[in-house]
Amino acid sequence: MSFSVQAAEAPAKKKAPAKAEAKVEAPSAKAQAVAKTLTPLQKTKLLDLLNKGDDKALQSLPGIGETRAKNIVKARPIADPVDLVKVDGIGDATLAEIVAHAKAGFPVEGKKDTVEHKVVTKKKGAQADKKAAKE
């Protein structure tokens, strides 16, 4: 009796679909020029916010909502503000808005200038003092 031995064919391995590679393009000349307008202190504060800020802090930046904030977190660490254009959903225009915000000292919406408020209050107080003195 003879047995024929047939080699069992190994099942063909399925190839995993190729991962979509993130576009890693060099930032445009416009983005580089905008980022260079930051002072060293402004750049440091912005990078600190980008690398350490929570979602709420990131969303305080113009043009950054919930999705873009999560994309920034995924892209950490960010070495230079110009690298923001490599984050999905952020382009030259959004970078320009963020840089302008940083140059303005990271203003918080809804807060009025306290100097103006003090001046108005002081005038009203002086008028009230004059009125009381007349009575």
Q: What's the chain's average pLDDT? A: 77
How far apart CA 9 and CA 124 sit, in angstroms, is: 94
Q: How many CB atoms lie within 10 A of CB 69?
A: 20
Domain 29-104 homologous superfamily, CATH: AF1531-like domain (1.10.150.280)
Q: What interhelical angle do 92-103 and 40-52 show, nearest 10?
A: 120
Sequence spans of domains, the chain: 29-104
Of 20 and 65, which is predicted with more confidence? 65
Task: Please tell me the predicted confidence (pLDDT) of residue 108.
Answer: 82
What is the mean pLDDT of the segment spanning 53-76?
A: 95
